């Protein structure tokens, strides 16, 4: 009797075409999503395309539990792009709170201004027009087109990339940066039907967020565990470049956050002396403040004063 052949692992550049796998993955993953999807406000019909866009900006590198309260406050204050566009960009930075990576707030404000000026205040439905908005990259344009308008696009965030790497390619983690091979695989895995494709995009993302997680993956709860190339190969350890950690304590990011916290709380320009109190090391503090000014997040004024940007 011939011994069963051990599943062969493939590198990301040798990923099999999606046509051989997609149809067997779509139904179980979408069925799982129908039963287990979280009830999130940006998934509700009343969120609209603007609500979806706001969520996509906020969720980049930020967990859902931190985003939820800020998202709800944001939409209550600025229910349409034109409402945000009327405000100074500094108000977007202030409302961003402690979500981190505050340049996202400036980019979202810039997108709101462009939507108001170019599209009459409505988030465009056309993928190319979405991609042309300031602050909108490949991922966000595809996500808004898919989740808000039900279109057929490959939506590749970290969670989706991890699901595809394991289920199809047979490796524990995807590359640090999205590759052309991953994009080809994602397009090949897309269902032909537009409505199902949009559902697949959301379902595969949720699977990566709740089950096929970076650590302590829940294979026993996975609807495609029996087909997963990585599990069938015995879950081999990651062999690629080291995974990037997200250190925070003691970094310029932490100092920038402390400086911005002072400016967010103040409704008048802040003197340099007040900012000097937030961090003990003067060289790093000055570097962080200079970076905030260079990024357009802080506006220097005569007399050693600083404020959030007005325009």
The residues near 80 (Cβ < 8 Å, ≥ 6 apart) are 50, 121
Residue that is written with structure tokens 């709101």 in the block: 112
Catalytic-residue membership of 56: yes
- Exposed, middle or buried by CB within 10 Å (0-12, 13-18, 19+), for 35? exposed
How many other C-beta atoms lie within 10 A of the C-beta of residue 253?
16
End-to-end CA distance of the chain: 76
Alpha-carbon distances of 211 from 61, 178, 221, 265, rounded to whole Å: 18, 21, 7, 39
Catalytic residue, candidates 14, 23, 56, 91: 56
At residue 64's C-alpha, the angle toward residues 59 and 69, to 5°, is 100
Nearest CA to 186 among 211, 172, 167, 171?
167
- Positive or negative torsion for Cα 51, 57, 58, 61: positive
Q: Cite the active site residues.
A: 56
């Amino acid at each position: 009797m011939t011994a069963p052949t051990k599943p062969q692992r493939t590198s990301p550049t040798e990923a099999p075409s999606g046509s051989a796998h997609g149809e067997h993955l779509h139904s179980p993953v979408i069925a799982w999503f129908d039963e287990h999807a979280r009830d999130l406000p940006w998934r509700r019909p009343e969120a609209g395309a603007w609500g979806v866009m706001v969520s996509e900006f906020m969720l980049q590198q930020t967990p859902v539990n931190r985003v939820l309260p800020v998202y709800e406050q944001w939409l209550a204050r600025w229910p349409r792009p034109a409402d945000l566009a009327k405000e100074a960009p500094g108000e977007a930075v202030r409302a961003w709170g402690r979500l981190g990576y505050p340049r996202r707030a400036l980019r979202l404000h810039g997108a709101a201004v462009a939507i108001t000026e170019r599209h009459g205040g409505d988030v465009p439905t056309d993928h190319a027009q979405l991609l042309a908005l300031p602050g909108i990259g490949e991922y966000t344009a595809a996500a808004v087109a898919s989740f808000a308008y039900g279109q057929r696009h490959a939506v590749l965030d970290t969670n989706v990339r991890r699901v595809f790497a394991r289920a199809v390619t047979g490796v524990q983690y995807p590359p640090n940066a999205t590759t052309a091979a991953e994009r080809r695989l994602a397009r090949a895995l897309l269902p032909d039907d537009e409505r199902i494709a949009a559902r697949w995009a959301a379902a595969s993302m949720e699977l990566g967020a709740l089950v096929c997680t970076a650590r302590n993956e829940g294979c026993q709860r996975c609807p495609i565990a029996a087909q997963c190339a990585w599990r069938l190969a015995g879950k081999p350890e990651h062999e690629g470049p080291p995974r990037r950690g997200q250190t925070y304590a003691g970094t310029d990011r932490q100092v920038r956050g402390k400086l911005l916290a002072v400016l967010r709380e103040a409704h008048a320009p802040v003197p340099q002396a007040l900012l000097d109190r937030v961090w003990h090391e003067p060289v790093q503090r000055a570097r962080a403040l200079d970076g905030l000014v260079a990024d357009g997040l802080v506006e220097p004024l005569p007399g050693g004063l600083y404020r959030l940007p007005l325009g």
